[in-house]
Every structure is written in structure tokens, then in C-alpha cells.
A and B are shown apart, each in its own frame.
Chain A
């Protein structure tokens, strides 16, 4: 290498070293910023809930954590005694149960349509059936109320809420079933047919067992979405109340920690149920995947 080249080479090296040092410093700053960001983010996410739950145990008239006036469970007792709350809870469960049934039936039909048949105008059909997911809940609620009132003079009541919610929850169920069905080996159905099973038997003995994990997912998702729903239910429930409607109404009247207590109970149930569900789902999916994968090998 010539002298000239040597000096240029060392120039470059010096530049890259300083650049390296520069980037190491920049890296450090980036790491710090990321750490701060993460702390802030998770605080932002969890703080309101923690505060709300903790305030339910405070003896103050207005739900707040500070000043702390002493530990009490009176708000829970107050909430427990409210008959209206139990009625609303019952309604939520009733509607949730019905929505699970309706959405699974409809969603499965849709999923079968797109995975087993070749319907004409397939993408148009698909867009129409999936569209309720993208529609604002209010629009679905309003249109449902308008339609049933006008055609059948059906006023707002829990059944209408079931219909309104099912419109879009069925789409979610359909997507879950389609995801599961797409990995299904159609030859299994053919083998069953070939061995003498009627189409109904094939469905019952081969397809449905395969769909079982998806059924659980769909049912859990449908129930959760129905239970939590507010916008669509608001327009279709009429004078009746679900738990979410009840909470909103109560809050409009005036805030007491009894609502906190209720919120606390709901959060606790949701967390326990949700975590249990997640763990069960992962375990079941892994088990089935292992068996199916081994057979394909």
C-alpha cells in the first residue's frame, strides 16, 4: 500500500472509531429513553385500574385513594345489596349466553361457506359478512333498532340486544373458525366419506372434534365481547339494563365507591377468568398441534 493510501486508511479508521464511539453513546441514550418509555407506558396502562380497585377499600364517601380513611368492605356490601345490579348482571349473562349460541351457529355457517364451497361473488359475500366488525357499534345498534321496530314492531329488549351484538360477534367467530379450518386436511373428510360415513356423520366425527379448540376460543371471545358491549346494547336494550348500562347509569347519577367495589369484583373475575382461559387455550392448542403435526410427518 502506498503512503498516501496508508494515511487515508488511518483516516477512515479514525472516522469509523469515532463513529463507533458516537453510536455507542447514542445507543446508551436510546436504551435509557426506551426504559423510561416502558415504565411510563405500563404505568399509564395499569395505574388507573390499580387506583380504582384500591379506592374501593377506602372508607371515604367519594372514591379516592388519598386521603386514606381506613380499610373497609362496606362498599362491597352496599353493592351486593342492590337488586338492580343483580338483575342487570343476570341480563348480561343471559344475553351473553344467547349471543354465544347465535354467533357460533352463524359464524360456523359462514366459515364453512368459504372453506368448503366456492360461492359466486365470493369476495363480495366475504366483505359483507365481515363488514359489521368495521362498523361503529352505534350504527349497528341504531340500524338494528330501526329495522326490527319498523318491520315487527319489536321494541328494545334483551332479545334485540342479542341480535344487534350477534351481527358483528358472528363475524369474529367466523374468522376464528376459518383460521382453524384452513389448516384442516380435507382428505380426512374424504377418507371418512369413503369409509361409509354420511356427510352428517363426517361432520360430527371428524370435523367437529377438530374444531373443538376453536369452539372454545369463539365461545369465550363471544361471551366477553357481549358482556363488555356498550354501544350496540345501548340502542337495543330499551328500558332494560345490562351490567355495563347499569354502571353507566349509576355513574350519571353520582359517583360512590360502591361502583368501585363492583368494578373491583369485575376486574378480579375478569383477570382470573382471562388468565385461566389463556393458559388453558395455550395448553390445548399445543397438545392438538403436536398430535396433528406428528401425524403429518
Chain B
């Protein structure tokens, strides 16, 4: 067995009542973090503090956290109400109080009257909600969710996203959510920590992460991005010019990459427009051959051929008027320098 670190140098501060997500591909260490917070794994170094109190040595059954397992781990031999009230039962609450709390929560998750049903009678989405109700019943300070929507189908997943978000706002409980699905994370979270290989790449709000990625990994993992490689040939006023295969390209340079250094330039497909007539002094004009056009109903994606690279992607909404470019035609596209960002060379997703 290798002595690899699952999680390294992770330092996060989550305020009360926030919906916080850890986003990253499988194996990036997010499950480990969750297990450390819930108390099933002890960190080899560092601290976990809840409300200022160090949780070292405190077992999972004594922590004010509740974990929603990826496989839900609902008790198959107990009814729905017994599942929900389980935490109260082990705390010695009398049957009347337990029943009352269970009914309360069943109302909250819109499953009133389901109390006496068995777990195997529920659908996937219903089981999800019961798992959440069961965790909320113990009134935890922090609710930990381990990719709870990954086993659900698309429509249900989208529905549950909205439900989880509203539930969190309603109850005010701090949610710590882990997922590999960036759409989920972006849609539900107040803040996101993007992780790769046990380290945090960036922490920020959805818009920050999406519009101002801090590392190449974040830029490529979250949403689609076009990448241009080259060297910085000039810089001024927080902008820089990259010497790329398509000639000089201007973009934001938040990291202040110096002239002559290699860099990567990122621009989102939806920010690349088809250029009409070329105005004088225009920058970031790219002429390329259309490799393919993908019509997806709501949007149209055009792939432009590049030598030695994956195609340049251009995305636009279907405005009903735009003729779909044919393969082999030459297209001229442009993007604003403010819409592109330059980042130092690093590993991408």
C-alpha cells in the first residue's frame, strides 16, 4: 500500500447557515474530508473545530453532525417513521415525542402519511428525502451530504436540487455537500471549494468560480473552456497578450504573469461570437475551418478545427435566425479580452 495523502493542506472556514460544497472528480479526497468531519476518520494532523470547539477524540455519535450516506443507509427493517425518529429513540425520547417529530419532518419533506410504510416501498427520490429527514430529526449543527443525488435520474436530480436548496434555506442548517457534478454545485451552493488530488484549487461563490477561475484545473473542470497555449508577449493594465497559434490574443492577467513566461489562455465557448465585418483595430479575431456543428435544440455548438489541439468550441443559443455553418466552411470568430483569462501553466482537468 502506498503512503499517499488523501487530503493535503486543506483549510476551510464555513460560516453557520451556509450551503458549502466540495467539488471535484472521484478520488480527489472529498469523501475523506466528509468522513473526517463526521468523525469516522481522524486527521493525521490539523484540527476540526465546530463552533470553536476542537472535535479531536470526539466519536461520531457524540458530534453535532449528521451524515447522509451516498447509499442512504436507511434501516431496512424499520418503518419510515422509525427511521426518521431513530436519532431521538437512541437519545431516550418518549414514543409520543418521537411520533410528533417524525410527523413534523414528514410534512417538511412532503411525505405526510408515509410514516408506517416500509423502506422498500419507497421510490429513489422518496428514500432520499427520508434520509434527509432522519438526519434533520437530530437537529444537527452541520448536515453532511455525500453525493446524495448521484444515483437518481436526470429529471429527479434537477427536482431534488431545488428541494435541497429550499430545505437548507428553510431550516438554516449548515450544509456541507460533496459532489463531482459541477452543475449541482454551481446551482445549489453559497460557496464552492474545487478540489483535485487532495488539494483545494479554489474557494469561491459560483460566479467567482465560473467567471474567475484561479487555476487551469478549475477553468477546465467547471464548465467548458477553450485553452490556448503560448508565451506572454506583452502586458499592460492588468491585461496581457499571448502569442498563440492564432496570433496574438489579449486577455485578463489577474495573476500578473510576466513577459516571456509560458501561459494558458481560457475563454468560455459561450463568450466567443461569430464576427461580422472586421472592424479596424479589432483584437482576438480567429479564422478557422468548421470541423463540425452540433445542434442541441436550445443551443448550437460549433467546433472549429485547430492543428495539434482539440477543436475550438463556440456555443450560442438558438435564436432561430442563425444558419448552421457547414463543415469545411471558414468562420471568423471573436471574443472580448475581458471575457478571457490568462493563467500560469498547470494541470488541467
Q: Do A and B touch directly, given a CB cutoff of 8 Å in the complex?
A: yes
Q: State the A residues within 8 Å of B (CB).
A: 185, 187-188, 190-199, 201, 205-206, 209-210, 288, 290-297
Point out the residues of chain A lying under 8 angstroms from B39, CB to CB: 194
Interface string of B233-248 (1 = CB under 8 A from A): 0000000000000000
Pair B69/A187 contact, Cβ less than 8 Å: yes
Which of B1-9, B84-92, B168-176, B206-214 lies at the interface with chain A? B84-92
Pair B73/A191 contact, Cβ less than 8 Å: yes
Which of B74-82, B108-116, B285-293 lies at the interface with chain A? B74-82
User: When the two chains form the complex, which single residue of A195, A199, A210 contacts B86, counting CB atoms closer than 8 Å?
Assistant: A195
Also in contact, A194 and B38, with CB within 8 A (given A291-B120, A292-B76): yes
Nearest residue (CB) in B for A188 is B73
A193 to B138, CA, bound (A): 12
Pair A191/B69 contact, Cβ less than 8 Å: yes
Pair B61/A193 contact, Cβ less than 8 Å: yes
Pair B59/A290 contact, Cβ less than 8 Å: no
- Does B40 count as interface, using CB distance less than 8 angstroms? yes
Point out the residues of chain B lying under 8 angstroms from A294, CB to CB: 76, 119-121
- Does B273 count as interface, using CB distance less than 8 angstroms? no
Pair A194/B66 contact, Cβ less than 8 Å: yes
Pair B74/A194 contact, Cβ less than 8 Å: no
A190 to B61, CA, bound (A): 9
Chain A to chain B: the 5 pairs with minimum beta-carbon distance, closest first: A294-B120, A195-B87, A191-B73, A197-B90, A295-B76
Pair A192/B76 contact, Cβ less than 8 Å: no
Shortest B332–chain A CB gap in Å is: 54
Pair B90/A205 contact, Cβ less than 8 Å: yes
User: Majority SS of interface residues in chain A?
Assistant: helix
Also in contact, A193 and B60, with CB within 8 A (given A201-B90, A291-B118): yes
Also in contact, A190 and B138, with CB within 8 A (given A196-B87, A205-B90, A295-B119): no
Also in contact, A195 and B71, with CB within 8 A (given A291-B118, A295-B76): no
User: When the two chains form the complex, which single residue of B60, B62, B74 contacts A295, counting CB atoms closer than 8 Å?
Assistant: B74
Point out the residues of chain A lying under 8 angstroms from B138, CB to CB: 195-196
Point out the residues of chain B lying under 8 angstroms from A201, CB to CB: 90
User: When the two chains form the complex, which single residue of B74, B76, B90 contacts A196, counting CB atoms closer than 8 Å?
Assistant: B90
Pair A205/B89 contact, Cβ less than 8 Å: yes
Point out the residues of chain B lying under 8 angstroms from A190, CB to CB: 40, 60, 67, 69, 73
Point out the residues of chain B lying under 8 angstroms from A194, CB to CB: 38-39, 60-61, 65-67
Interface size classification for chain B: 20 to 34
Shortest B301–chain A CB gap in Å is: 37
Also in contact, A195 and B38, with CB within 8 A (given A291-B76, A295-B119): no
A185 to B69, CA, bound (A): 12
- Does B135 count as interface, using CB distance less than 8 angstroms? yes
Shortest A293–chain B CB gap in Å is: 8
A187 to B87, CA, bound (A): 16
Point out the residues of chain A lying under 8 angstroms from B67, CB to CB: 190-191, 194
Nearest residue (CB) in A for B121 is A294
A199 to B77, CA, bound (A): 19
Point out the residues of chain B lying under 8 angstroms from A295, CB to CB: 74, 76, 119-120, 127
- Does B134 count as interface, using CB distance less than 8 angstroms? yes
A190 to B146, CA, bound (A): 14
A195 to B135, CA, bound (A): 7
User: Which residues of chain B from 90 to 113 have a CB within 8 Å of any chain A CB?
Assistant: 90-91
User: Which residues of chain B from 295 to 334 have a CB within 8 Å of any chain A CB?
Assistant: none
Nearest residue (CB) in B for A212 is B77
Known interface pairs A190-B67, A193-B60, A195-B135; 14 further A-B residue pairs with C-beta atoms within 8 A, sorted by A's residue number: A187-B71, A188-B73, A190-B60, A194-B60, A196-B91, A197-B61, A197-B86, A198-B61, A201-B90, A205-B90, A291-B118, A295-B74, A296-B71, A297-B120
Pair B73/A185 contact, Cβ less than 8 Å: yes
A133 to B261, CA, bound (A): 74
Point out the residues of chain B lying under 8 angstroms from A291, CB to CB: 76-77, 118-120
A185 to B134, CA, bound (A): 18
Point out the residues of chain A lying under 8 angstroms from B62, CB to CB: 196
A290 to B89, CA, bound (A): 26
Point out the residues of chain A lying under 8 angstroms from B121, CB to CB: 294
Shortest B132–chain A CB gap in Å is: 13
Point out the residues of chain B lying under 8 angstroms from A195, CB to CB: 61, 66, 86-87, 90, 134-135, 138
Nearest residue (CB) in B for A206 is B75
Shortest A84–chain B CB gap in Å is: 47
Pair A192/B77 contact, Cβ less than 8 Å: no
Point out the residues of chain B lying under 8 angstroms from A191, CB to CB: 67, 69, 73-75
Point out the residues of chain B lying under 8 angstroms from A296, CB to CB: 71
Nearest residue (CB) in A for B127 is A295
Point out the residues of chain A lying under 8 angstroms from B77, CB to CB: 209-210, 288, 291
Point out the residues of chain A lying under 8 angstroms from B127, CB to CB: 295
A197 to B85, CA, bound (A): 12
A195 to B62, CA, bound (A): 9
Pair B86/A192 contact, Cβ less than 8 Å: yes
Shortest B237–chain A CB gap in Å is: 53
Interface string of B51-66 (1 = CB under 8 A from A): 0000000011110011
Point out the residues of chain A lying under 8 angstroms from B135, CB to CB: 195
Shortest B79–chain A CB gap in Å is: 11
Shortest A222–chain B CB gap in Å is: 24
Also in contact, A187 and B66, with CB within 8 A (given A193-B59, A194-B38, A295-B119): no
Shortest A205–chain B CB gap in Å is: 7
Shortest A211–chain B CB gap in Å is: 11
A197 to B93, CA, bound (A): 13
A12 to B118, CA, bound (A): 65
A197 to B62, CA, bound (A): 9
Shortest B129–chain A CB gap in Å is: 15
Shortest B112–chain A CB gap in Å is: 22
Shortest B298–chain A CB gap in Å is: 33
Q: In this complex, which of B69, B74, B75, B76 has the most chain A Cβ atoms within 10 angstroms of its Cβ? A: B76
A199 to B138, CA, bound (A): 17
